[in-house]
Structure 1
Amino acid sequence: MKKTFTTIAFLLMMLPVLLYAQTIPKTMNIYEKNGTLTKIPLDRIEKITFDGPQIGYNDNVVRDGDGNIYQVVKIGHQVWLASNLRTTKYNDGTPIPNITVGAEWNKARTGAYSWYMNNADNKEVYGALYNWYAVAEDKICPKGYHVPRKEELKALVETVGYAQPGAKLKVAGTQYWKNNKPETDNSSGFSALPGGGRQLNAAFQGEGATGRWWAIDAGSADYADFLIMYDNSNAANFMAANKWLGASVRCVRD
């Protein structure tokens, strides 16, 4: 009887362990955005590591005035949003006018934005195109971030190297950049995309071929600088442009 009692007590003690063992996962399931599922038995995994730029540096979530969420990337001593700005509001909640009519865009001397080709489907990939007046008061970036000065954009280029900065700043492949160079690898994580721009005649131009990012500095009463990259070159140059042109915005941490 004593032996039977001891056996029952032992089984009761082991029951939680046995039940827990049944609940331990045996497989790691990896779900990709394209719907692919990869199953890896845990007993085959020695360790898990992550390669690439430092995404999520000190910030779990960065939100703009619309509530859009951005990842961030540290490049040298700077921390940048890892995608183009796509807000339709300043960070104080004030709406930014969306000007679709070309004649009105040409005349605007206050902040405005448009989507490339006036198509909101371009929002998620390329972000919005803003005239310089929208960035001038520096209320367009999420709080804690700002529109870069020209010197800050120069520092970005210097950090990745003046020889071929586009190779490290642009998204690789030809899905977005039509004639991308084979050495382009986006190793910085900046993920520059060719969102094009809105020209003096209010026409949209350059999607797939150029990316342009405003600096907040005003070069003169009518001109300001932006950084420009090309699909068929890994250069990154500065160009003075009329303030009413439409270009992308990339924010840097304060």
Structure 2
Amino acid sequence: MKFIFLLITSVFCISINFSQSSCPNPFDNNLDGTISIYDLMGLLSIFGEEDLDFDGLIDSYDLCIDLNACNFLNIPTELCLYDDALAICGGSCLSDVDGDGICDDVDACIGPVDVCGVCNGTDALASSIESITFLYDSVYATSANQWVLFVVGADTIFNYICPSTFSNCGEDVIFDNYNYSTVQIGNQCWFSENCRYLPSVSPASSGNAVDPFYYVYGYEGADVAEAKSTSNYSTYGTLYNFPAIMLGEMCPTGWHIPTDLEWQVLEVFLGMSPLDASSTGFRGTDQGNQIKSIVGWSNNNGTNTSGFSALPAGYRNPTGVFYSLGNQAYLWSSSVSELSEPWARKLKGGPRILRNVFNQGFGYSTRCISD
């Protein structure tokens, strides 16, 4: 039997060698550079070879034999690739749980983002319409001999009151569509920037000590959107008279305007004596420098070692004029004296902090402190 096998093999080899004189081996009839092998009798398996995908290439030389591969070709030019979570052939996206087209490993939010910009949030506590712009078109009605005006659409701008998503001091607090930075100072957690809440805006010439008024330094109009587009609003926030402060609307849930005592706690933590903290005028040593920003002051920047980052936002005087941008900062507390005069803090070029009472018609900056 072994002899027969060898004889057949020899005959087979002779036939191959014979064919080479008139037909090249391997044979490429259409000269496309590709040679296919079709093992109709399954003889390849005898020699440990297969062609599982029936593409005419022996699997040991075939780059891709999986019909489910996204790049499968009869004559593959690369290894098998598969669709990723974004249906990209050969892509690296392992999962996209929320189906937003962003791979989970780089997705900032796996889930929906609410109107307040919070991932998987509960949406706004309340909303109001700031403005509605109607779009009109017209057509001439020949039969009626007149123009007909009709509304083709409207664009509505909403204001949202959003809940605080704060969990750890040092994280941002999202409120009124803005991310406020925070800082831990002792056992207190403060906003490290001025409040920006601006439901309305007035020129410096308007105001009193009874009704709430809101100002943006240097802006003399009444358009909130226009005031918010100014660089002073972006840098320094809003100036409030004391009646506006008492409404407390500039702080999110879980936060409030600091009391005079909470200001004193801050000052004592920074090294001021309790006796100085409870007195009036400029007090302490370098506590003012510790809370002043390291840039922005025209006369002696601070060290800001506390991280409070007080900026020289100036103020609105009850006489109807803005003063001292770049030179001074005034910050309201929520407390009043025995004579119902509100306490505030003042910073200027020196290193100390002033504590005093002021007319309720002044327009000052303010901060929020965690409950």
Name the TM-score, length of structure 2 as normaliser: 0.49
Residues 1:168 and 2:290 aligned together: yes
Q: How does 1:1-254 map to 2 (within 5 A)?
A: 57=169, 59-64=171-176, 67-89=177-199, 97-100=200-203, 102=205, 104-105=206-207, 107-118=208-219, 120=227, 121=230, 122-162=232-272, 163-173=285-295, 176-181=296-301, 184-221=302-339, 223-230=341-348, 232-254=349-371
User: What is the CA deviation profile of residues 2-55 of structure 1, one whole-angstrom value per residue up to 9, with x for unaligned ones?
Assistant: 69978989xx9x989xx999xxxxxxxxxxxxxxxxxxxxxxxxxxxxxxxxxx
SS at match of 2:314: strand
Q: Residue type of the partner of 1:179?
A: N
Q: Which ranges of 4 or more aligned residues in structure 1 deviate by more than 4 Å?
A: 1-9
Cα deviation, 1:77-105, whole Å, max 9, x if unaligned, reads 1111111001014xxxxxxx422151x31
Contact 1:214-1:227 at 8 Å conserved across structures: yes
Seen in structure 2, the aligned counterparts of structure 1 residues 60 and 114 have a Cα distance that, compared at 3 Å, is closer
Q: Which residue of 2 aligns with 1:36?
A: none
Tell me, what secondary structure is at the counterpart of 2:252?
coil
- Tell me the CA shift for residue 74 of structure 1: 1.0
- Give aligned pairs, total: 204
2: CA distance between counterparts of 1:5 and 1:57? 61
C-alpha displacement at 1:126, in angstroms? 0.6
Structure possessing the higher relative contact order (Cα contacts under 8 Å, 6 or more residues apart): 1
Q: List gaps (5 residues or longer) in structure 1.
A: 22-55, 90-96
User: What does the per-residue CA deviation read over 1:109-168, in whole Å, with 9 as the maximum and x for residues that have no partner?
Assistant: 111111112263111111111001111133331111100000111111222222311222
Distance 1:7 1:61, change over 3 A: farther
- Sequence identity (%): 27
Pairwise CA distance, 1:242: 0.4
Question: Structure 1 109/75 Cα, relative in aligned 2: closer, same or farther at 3 Å?
Answer: same
Which of the two has greater helix per residue? 1
Q: Secondary structure at the match of 2:346?
A: strand
Counterpart CA distance in 1 for 2:201 and 2:193 is: 20
SS of the residue 1:135 aligns to:
helix
Question: 2: distance between equivalents of 1:196 and 1:60?
Answer: 25
Change (3 A) 1:6 1:87: same
Task: Decide whether the 8 Å contact of 1:215 with 1:225 is kept in 2.
Answer: yes
The residue type equivalent to 1:99 in the other structure is S
Q: In 2, are the aligned partners of 1:62 and 1:71 still within 8 Å (CA)?
A: no
Q: TM-score, normalised by structure 1?
A: 0.69
Determine the structure 2 residue equivalent to 1:45. none
Structure with the greater alpha carbon radius of gyration: 2
Structure 1 residues 60 and 136, CA gap change in structure 2 (3 angstroms): closer
Alignment root-mean-square deviation, CA: 3.0
Structure 2 residues not aligned, in runs of 5+: 1-46, 50-57, 67-78, 82-89, 93-167, 221-226, 273-284
C-alpha separation in 1, matches of 2:325 and 2:336:
25
Q: CA deviation at 1:58?
A: 6.8
Instruction: Tell me the SS of whatever aligns to 1:148.
Output: coil
Are the aligned partners of 2:209 and 2:242 in contact in 1 as well (CA < 8 Å)?
no
| 8 Å CA contact retained: 1:141, 1:147 | yes
